[in-house]
Structure 1
């Protein structure tokens, strides 16, 4: 039995005797001496040092943890080295250098070579993140600027993007543009010299003032992606319809999306208003020039308002035509606001249709202003809107005069009286 056990041990010894086992036992012996120096009883199991759990001081516990961490790392490295025994000795020496850089390794645990000493000196030369430095050193630190990979605000890119910085100088409100999907990434991809500057020069040639560039781009940043050929073709079309250069410049300044629509669409819109309202070419140009967004917006609200004026409000075709020529905003007004104002003027103030057609500006006034002034005149006994009777008050003057003039000329009262009456409403 003893002879068989001896043979088995010899076989295991021949299989396991490698560089890793020898190195492990070597450093285990050193750990034994380190532990003896600190008077800590040590036991060895499978080549690793195991300390007893009766340590008496915190310093002893710390040293024990440092040694265990070191030899655990050492064992793992040597196991890796054993798997890669086919590598040359130079690669093995480089792998061993990493072991000696462990910051938890005791000073007297392993010998320090010159290469290790140079590495330690280089590490000691580096400044700590918590170390105080002088103002001169702080100024000398250079931090590379880089565009953030992702952000929810364009302000993070303004300092690094020439396009965004120039747009800010033009008066573009980036905080409005960044709320629109995909607009921010589109602006970052644009080059100011090749994409933005040519469009701005084109607008200037059309007659748009420099102060309107910011307003146009803020409301329509997509004009920066339109080709110059398309923009020129649309301007040429408007001029072919006998819109003057000054009128075209004014329309583009007040309707930023005007030049984003094709020539075919612009032609269809002009034809719609001319046929639907039965207007002449001159009157059609006048309506569109005064409210150029009629060529940009949807036609459905316009069609609905025309039906409201004819069916619900009871205006005739020629009366609607006259109202639109005087106040084009009626075509795009809110349906609820339009019916509310007409109901108050016609049913409460008893103003007939023909007077509303004569003074269509009342349909574009603020409902609260009309209501407050009428009730004040009614309180004073001066709410008289019949032109055939004395003390007639024109509906146009009722809504257009400022408060002080209204009180003096129409209500024959003071401004303080009117303000006191408003508090009672």
Structure 2
């Protein structure tokens, strides 16, 4: 740029010497134009070099003394032979914003006089019309709801909730527990949830049961992996197999939330109060792991009901519990209702009830309907010493077809018609 400009200046100097008739006159105009030009300089940063921009006023002042001399533009350099042609070109030049550098002219400008001219990036106006394709491509991020009655409103905004739903977790079960919802929203799936899920898989919990476990015990996601492993190791030290531990955790999700001390106290309670061996204690706990994770109050109450209200002896209670552990956590009303009907209505003695304790695991209406049907047919005979004996086990366990054909000696249609009369 500088070399090109130097060549052009030399050409202009030669032209100036040939065309100017009165050097003194034009020298005066040259000084005047130069001083006027220096008053309107601006500093512009362009590709790291300083550029001198001349305003329209400066161009007009400089062109006054050039009207009879020469004209030069950024695109071509030519000599004007007449004053009229120069005037026309100068008017066009004054309308244009010509930018060029002048390395031969030293200009000293103070810091206050320098104005930084930065090109502003043009941004589209909000009122500017856009095409349909551009409108479709616009992505508007949705804001997280500040408050909601259901966790479903946050699923699209939380990776953790999205992945939990994919695992089969029922979020609606947490709607009555705000503390659970806020806890899940704060969890990071990769750092908080994934390690716990991998731990459950490692101890043998099936993938299909992960959603059930977290649905019933979301707080397992906040337990430390060290504590979880310690509790699993304790159960294995009590001779629970790996498969049994996995099955217990799958059916009683809160099991691993309890400390080792609490688990040990629970096992000791059943072994001492029921006078059970270690093997029988492991057996009832493995079949009903809720005995370790649930409250002991209903267990203590049912033991008193069986002893004081139902009249069973200690060894009889022990036998019933080993056969049907669910008796320990069943509702008191169900136990008393079934026992009252079997013992007082069907006239079945205690020792036969102990021999077939599965009756406590049946429904009261189921037992009542079948007994009344047998009684209607004259076949309600529950004494093993008499003919046509009907055991309690078969009474409650057989499906309707076998019950009718083997015990009642009637058709299923007859049994269903009889049920409508009750």
Using structure 1 for the length normalisation, give the TM-score: 0.69
Question: Which residues in structure 2 correspond to 1:136-215 (within 5 Å)?
Answer: 136=133, 138-215=135-212
Which whole-Å CA distance do the structure 1 matches of 2:273 and 2:255 have between them? 21
Q: Residue 358 of structure 1 corresponds to which residue in structure 2?
A: 355
Q: Residue 265 of structure 2 corresponds to which residue in structure 1?
A: 268
Structure 1: runs of 5+ lacking an equivalent: 1-120, 128-132
Which whole-Å CA distance do the structure 1 matches of 2:297 and 2:152 have between them? 38
Match of 1:254 among 247, 251, 255: 251
Match of 2:303 among 301, 306, 317: 306
Match of 1:236 among 233, 236, 247: 233
* Residue-by-residue CA offset, 1:379-423 (whole Å, 9 max, x unaligned): 000000000000000101100111111111110000000000000
Structure 1 runs, 4 residues or longer, greater than 3 Å off: 133-138
Using structure 2 for the length normalisation, give the TM-score: 0.69
Match of 2:332 among 335, 343, 349: 335
Which whole-Å CA distance do the structure 2 matches of 1:196 and 1:122 have between them? 45
Question: Which residues in structure 2 correspond to 1:16-415 (within 5 Å)?
Answer: 125=127, 135-136=132-133, 138-415=135-412
Which whole-Å CA distance do the structure 1 matches of 2:234 and 2:141 have between them? 51
Larger Rg, first or second structure (1 or 2) = 2
Q: 1:137 to 1:242 in 2, by over 3 A?
A: same
Q: CA deviation at 1:155?
A: 1.3
Structure 2: runs of 5+ lacking an equivalent: 1-123
Matched, 1:419 2:419: no
Q: Residue 34 of structure 1 corresponds to which residue in structure 2?
A: none
Which whole-Å CA distance do the structure 1 matches of 2:279 and 2:134 have between them? 74
Q: CA deviation at 1:135?
A: 4.8
Which whole-Å CA distance do the structure 1 matches of 2:201 and 2:134 have between them? 49
Q: Number of paired residues?
A: 299
Taking only aligned residues, the RMSD between alpha carbons, in angstroms, comes to 1.5
SS at match of 1:159: helix
Q: CA deviation at 1:138?
A: 4.1
Which whole-Å CA distance do the structure 1 matches of 2:203 and 2:383 have between them? 49
Which whole-Å CA distance do the structure 2 matches of 1:416 and 1:122 have between them? 80
Q: CA deviation at 1:146?
A: 2.3
Which whole-Å CA distance do the structure 1 matches of 2:132 and 2:171 have between them? 36
Q: Which has the higher contact order (CA 8 A, sep 6+)?
A: 2
